[in-house]
Structure 1
Amino acid sequence: MNSDIDLKTVNRRSFLRLSACAAVGTSSLFSTLFNLRQLNAAAANTTSGSDDDYKAIVCIFLYGGNDSNNLLIPSDAATYATYAAGREQLAIPRDQLLALNSLNSDGRSFGIHPSMTGCHELFNSGDLALVANVGTLLAPATLSDYRNRTAAIPDHLFSHSDQQVLWQTSVNENASVDPTGWGGRIADLIHSTHNNSSISMLVSLSGSNFFQVGRTLLPFRTNSNGSSTYDILNGWDSHATTRAEGFRQLLDKDYANLMEQAFADISNSAIKNADTFNAAIAAADEFEMLPDTSLGRQLRMVAKMIQSRQELGQRRQVFFVATGGFDTHGPQLDSHAGLLGGLDAAIKGFHEALGSIQAQDCVTSFTASDFGRTFDTNGRGSDHGWGGHHIVMGGAVNGQRIYGDFPDINFGSAHDTGRGRWLPTTSVDQYGATLARWFGIPDSELPTVFPNISNFATSNLGFMS
């Protein structure tokens, strides 16, 4: 990185990309050391609540832009005919849809993709809800706003990187707001009154992300195998044991040089926390109901951390997991069916895992993605869109309902910005604020977490009890 960069000339977009590059280029160990240094200072002032008050939210990010036009599908004869005509070769046959017995259908009928048998079961049993046509907005918008690019319309629509940042931060590029994520801002507000731990309440199982960047806290990054530490401490032969013992002796010395002492102190703290973390996780269940996929393994570690929450001193946690492959410009039907099937198996397995440790009521999972995709086809797949449909799951969810406004899927409708790129009818801020309120953020602090929320008529979509 150029050491002569003038920070006064770096705009928000550049700052975020530089930060992301730095995070990717830095080893996970030194990232963990940096995090623990901040977290140890913050934890000195923490107080603990009762274990009965435990809550967690789990962001499941679908990188690439999920084509949710084939996730939630109208199934009444007239609207399905419009769907089939618009989607052409991307249409799912009507007789293959899994019927949703929605409690708030308003006379309409919907089905879910045939690969999502687990989510279908969870919806109809009341443990899962769907939120229609969610997207990045700064204020309620009309087609005129979109065409004239008024203040309601975010910058850089249909761009993967920019819309990933906006989904995870709710901060538009040119806004004079700290470039932090809304998960990080939630944690900043409540960590001191809920957690008594040197391990962050922000936990990423999928590397660096913008969602969990806070002003005070940064995410603790681990993987599906547990927390790593210095390689020199690993190994089993006599030489490895000697090296490890020598390194520990170096860390235990008193140093006159402040930098050397700081490195020793932070290293000892990191090793201690890694040992505590790994010991707690080792005692947790294996949760074999979760599939042996990348997303399944990430959620298995989340379940282990939730089961180990008392040992880890956690009463609020914000998790980030992710899976990719959703940029389906090419042959889509089979590949997308596989992607949704993998997501479905992980979600259903995670719900069962939480049930086995009596934690379903205190954990809420939700999907997020770059954007929806075009309703029409490019001949083989679909292209970058805007509004999309999302899943919320958990025992505290007011399930078996579809929230938000399903778009008018006729081409040229008031929701069509072109090619069936649906103008969102629900904002990311409203979606996130509904989760944040359940998590413990008071109404008075919602504008701190979601800077655009006051522009919308409601900050509570009703899908959380």
Structure 2
Amino acid sequence: MKTQITRRELIKAGASVTAGLALSGVAPSFAAPSPRPQSIALNLRPQKKALVFIMLDGGNDSFNMLVPTSAPHYREYQQSRSNLALSQQSLLPLSGFTDKQGRTFGLHNSMPEVQALFAQKQLAFVANIAPMITPVSQAAMQNGSAQIPLGLLSHADQFRHWQTSRPHQRINSGWFGYFADALQPNRPVSEIPMNISLAGSNIMQNGAQSSHYSITDKGSVGLIVNEQKTPLNRELLDSFEDLLTADYQNDPFKQSYLALTREAQAQHEVFRSATHNVRVPGSFSDSPLSQQLRQVAQSIQAADALNTPQQTFFLRYIGWDHHDELLNNHAEMLRVLSKALGEFQHALNSMGLTDQVITFTGSDFGRTLTSNGNGTDHGWGGNTLVMGGDIQGGQIFGEYPSLSLDNNPLNAGDGVLIPTTSTDQLYAELAHWFGVQRKQLNALFPNLAHFNNGTSLTGLIRA
């Protein structure tokens, strides 16, 4: 009897399930993109809080990030991962935590800062998580009845689903955007949006009416000419001011362009003024991620001056698609991530912002347990982390899966693991912490009701 499906069949399963639902008349929106963002009526409790999302873009091999160290479970890991297995002696122990199955765990040795934060109970992991529509079984995968996310194993689709948490649709709005719709419904154009991106355009911070404000690792980028008082610069500034005040009544395109330019310039001047004298304690590495998180800390400290007491931040750390040279590249990138997280949380603690900020990561998908020779291929379930003073740290939430390839009910084929925790469950807990009422979580995350009777990751955040 066949017990697994191949990776090729897994990809095909997504297409067949979508087609079957469309033909049967069940949930026709499952196969069709939403034409435009739909507003959601949320009542958020105003408070000084920030959510920081870091997308590990490409698909983090997170079963080499968080590894079982208890003897029988490490042997399963070692056998499944073959030439990609890390030595047991190299792993950084996560002391003080044993799961319900008696397993202990360690971290990749590139992550000493994350190990320290776990020990300080300011960081926790969520195991085997991914965007999901409903719980999925191996049998349903085999017979084609599983409701799996659109474009499963596809970078573009899974990247989108992590931002929207609506994997039954391809939409261009995300749950951070819905926050802004509720909290800044009539925002003046000169006022900074509460959603700030350090990765340019994104879906997660787009709402039905709201958008985000983009900055770089060096801060806000405006249209101000070098302000040294030279004749040339005065001439350039005069020309620029003339451009902004011009009136092109008979040219709608120029009118629209200038309106956007004026808005961008006004916001830049507000942002620069609010953050100019804010100093972030501690040292930050030269990596782009560390420098971006320094800007995030500066923006959170300036929240009152920006008139944005509640904020969200979107960051991307690109390059995790390790089909080749996994061991060396993964070690280097985990080192950058760990240092950046340690530096950021240290700064927040020093600034008295420990309990006001939660940082969490996502990644397109987990990767196959099996080696392709020198790397791994696209998977589904993976592990992520959550960090902050209000986190019940020092724990692994969700269900860390068996890493055996034999008789594993979560092995969908070729070492692709079926997730056991939905992003909805994590996001619902974070949204409630941010101020969303429990009774409104199902409107924000429409698939939440399919998991554990609609419960989130209870216990993740301190009461």
Map of 1:157 onto structure 2: 152
Map of 2:7 onto structure 1: none
Alpha-carbon distance between aligned partners in 1 of 2:187 and 2:117, rounded to the nearest angstrom: 30
Counterpart mapping for 1:170-181 below 5 A? 170-172=165-167, 175=169, 179-181=172-174
Alpha-carbon distance between aligned partners in 2 of 1:241 and 1:130, rounded to the nearest angstrom: 54
Map of 2:244 onto structure 1: 251
> Could you say if the C-alpha distance between residues 102 and 452 of structure 1 is closer, same or farther in structure 2, counting changes exceeding 3 Å?
farther
Q: Could you give the per-residue CA deviations for residues 239-263 of structure 1, whole angstroms, max 9, x where no partner exists?
A: 2211212332453467766957776
Map of 1:341 onto structure 2: 335
Which of 292, 296, 303 aligns to 1:302? It is: 296
Q: Is the 8 A contact 2:197 2:213 kept in 1?
A: yes
Instruction: Structure 2: give runs of 5+ residues left out of the alignment.
Output: 1-30, 38-42
Alpha-carbon distance between aligned partners in 1 of 2:129 and 2:302, rounded to the nearest angstrom: 34
Map of 2:434 onto structure 1: 439
Q: By how many angstroms is 1:154 displaced?
A: 1.3
Counterpart mapping for 1:172-251 below 5 A? 172=167, 175=169, 179-191=172-184, 198-230=191-223, 237-251=230-244
Map of 1:463 onto structure 2: 460
Which of 415, 419, 439 aligns to 2:414? It is: 419
Map of 2:359 onto structure 1: 365
> Could you say if the C-alpha distance between residues 182 and 49 of structure 1 is closer, same or farther in structure 2, counting changes exceeding 3 Å?
closer
> Could you say if the C-alpha distance between residues 266 and 372 of structure 1 is closer, same or farther in structure 2, counting changes exceeding 3 Å?
closer
Q: Could you give the per-residue CA deviations for residues 329-366 of structure 1, whole angstroms, max 9, x where no partner exists?
A: 11111111111010000000000111121111110000
Which of 58, 62, 68 aligns to 2:62? It is: 68
Matched, 1:127 2:112: no
Q: Is the 8 A contact 1:196 1:314 kept in 2?
A: no
Which of 378, 391, 400 aligns to 1:406? It is: 400
> Could you say if the C-alpha distance between residues 292 and 416 of structure 1 is closer, same or farther in structure 2, counting changes exceeding 3 Å?
same
Q: Could you give the per-residue CA deviations for residues 372-401 of structure 1, whole angstroms, max 9, x where no partner exists?
A: 001110111111111000110000001111
Alpha-carbon distance between aligned partners in 1 of 2:262 and 2:204, rounded to the nearest angstrom: 29
Q: Is the 8 A contact 1:180 1:210 kept in 2?
A: yes
Alpha-carbon distance between aligned partners in 2 of 1:353 and 1:304, rounded to the nearest angstrom: 10
- Which amino acid is the alignment partner of residue 57 of structure 2? Y
Alpha-carbon distance between aligned partners in 2 of 1:269 and 1:438, rounded to the nearest angstrom: 32
Q: Which shifted more, 224-233 or 403-412?
A: 224-233
Alpha-carbon distance between aligned partners in 2 of 1:305 and 1:157, rounded to the nearest angstrom: 36
Alpha-carbon distance between aligned partners in 2 of 1:386 and 1:262, rounded to the nearest angstrom: 43
- Which amino acid is the alignment partner of residue 444 of structure 1? K
Name the SS of the counterpart of 2:210 in structure 1. Answer: coil
Q: By how many angstroms is 1:74 displaced?
A: 0.6
Q: By how many angstroms is 1:197 displaced?
A: 7.8
Q: By how many angstroms is 1:301 displaced?
A: 0.7
Structure with the bigger percentage of helix? 1
Map of 1:41 onto structure 2: none
Name the SS of the counterpart of 2:416 in structure 1. Answer: coil
Map of 1:23 onto structure 2: none
Q: By how many angstroms is 1:231 displaced?
A: 6.0
Aligned-CA RMSD value: 2.8
Identical amino acids, percent of aligned pairs: 36
Q: By how many angstroms is 1:178 displaced?
A: 5.2
Alpha-carbon distance between aligned partners in 1 of 2:350 and 2:224, rounded to the nearest angstrom: 35
Name the SS of the counterpart of 2:110 in structure 1. Answer: coil
Q: Is the 8 A contact 1:212 1:219 kept in 2?
A: yes
Map of 1:31 onto structure 2: none
- Which amino acid is the alignment partner of residue 341 of structure 2? I
Alpha-carbon distance between aligned partners in 2 of 1:291 and 1:189, rounded to the nearest angstrom: 36
TM-score for the superposition, normalised by structure 2: 0.84
Q: Which shifted more, 134-143 or 146-155?
A: 146-155
Q: By how many angstroms is 1:185 displaced?
A: 2.1
Map of 1:386 onto structure 2: 380
Counterpart mapping for 1:44-83 below 5 A? 53-83=47-77
Counterpart mapping for 1:37-48 below 5 A? none
Which of 165, 168, 177 aligns to 2:163? It is: 168
Which of 310, 314, 320 aligns to 1:320? It is: 314
> Could you say if the C-alpha distance between residues 152 and 401 of structure 1 is closer, same or farther in structure 2, counting changes exceeding 3 Å?
same
Alpha-carbon distance between aligned partners in 2 of 1:134 and 1:59, rounded to the nearest angstrom: 15
Name the SS of the counterpart of 1:70 in structure 2. Answer: coil
Matched, 1:138 2:133: yes
Name the SS of the counterpart of 1:69 in structure 2. Answer: coil
> Could you say if the C-alpha distance between residues 133 and 150 of structure 1 is closer, same or farther in structure 2, counting changes exceeding 3 Å?
same
Q: Is the 8 A contact 1:133 1:387 kept in 2?
A: yes
> Could you say if the C-alpha distance between residues 48 and 463 of structure 1 is closer, same or farther in structure 2, counting changes exceeding 3 Å?
closer
> Could you say if the C-alpha distance between residues 194 and 276 of structure 1 is closer, same or farther in structure 2, counting changes exceeding 3 Å?
closer
Alpha-carbon distance between aligned partners in 2 of 1:256 and 1:442, rounded to the nearest angstrom: 46
> Could you say if the C-alpha distance between residues 13 and 262 of structure 1 is closer, same or farther in structure 2, counting changes exceeding 3 Å?
closer
Q: Is the 8 A contact 1:194 1:316 kept in 2?
A: no
- Which amino acid is the alignment partner of residue 241 of structure 2? R
- Which amino acid is the alignment partner of residue 350 of structure 1? F
Q: Could you give the per-residue CA deviations for residues 192-219 of structure 1, whole angstroms, max 9, x where no partner exists?
A: 5999982111111011222112111111
Q: By how many angstroms is 1:156 displaced?
A: 1.6
- Which amino acid is the alignment partner of residue 445 of structure 1? Q
Map of 2:349 onto structure 1: 355
Matched, 1:108 2:103: yes
Q: Is the 8 A contact 2:281 2:351 kept in 1?
A: no
Matched, 1:87 2:81: yes
